[in-house]
Structure 1
Amino acid sequence: MTIFAVTYTYVDDERRLSALRPARYAWFQELEASGRLLASGQLSGEGMPQGLLLLEAADAGEAARLLDDDPFEVEGVVTQRLIGRWHATLGTWAGRS
């Protein structure tokens, strides 16, 4: 399996995002239980709300198919999703990509 880093940018609508978070967290828990989701979290700073995921998949196409089931994606609050192979050189995941 290969590790992929995924960055998301979301609509700037906290009320809408908050309403979808319980479904999204349940989806995250399923991905984590399957061993696919390694980490997830919000990115803070200036600009639009953003998030970062690290997940394992056979290839970028499989990663994209997994992410198509994200409740944020399904409900249209994702404005940008970038998927890239992550080459971990140090740390817990080094050598797994």
Structure 2
Amino acid sequence: MVHALGLAPASENLPDTGGRLLVSRTGASLHYGHPMSVLRLPHTSRPWIVHAALGGSTVIALGLDPIPPGSGRDAIEEYLHRSSKAGRLYTGATRIRRRWA
């Protein structure tokens, strides 16, 4: 998935992964290259959706280790730092995808 999305290790410059976000009034999804499926992004807030829809900066962060279910903001922040330091976090800049294909 790292290669399909065009991500780079978090320690390197942030690559542009192109338009990968699909947003609606009720949520957002990530187009990761599959011809018929997208990944629904859970817990997207209305302010974040508006930010992305208006062309605001967004980043994909893909960690190679699982995050325990129910992890709060502090645990996720620690996970991102720990995974980045261990070379197990990949990132890329993305934006709204204007069309499916």
User: TM-score when scaled to structure 1?
Assistant: 0.27
Structure holding more helix per residue: 1
Indicate the structure whose relative CO is greater, using CA pairs within 8 Å and at least 6 residues apart. 1
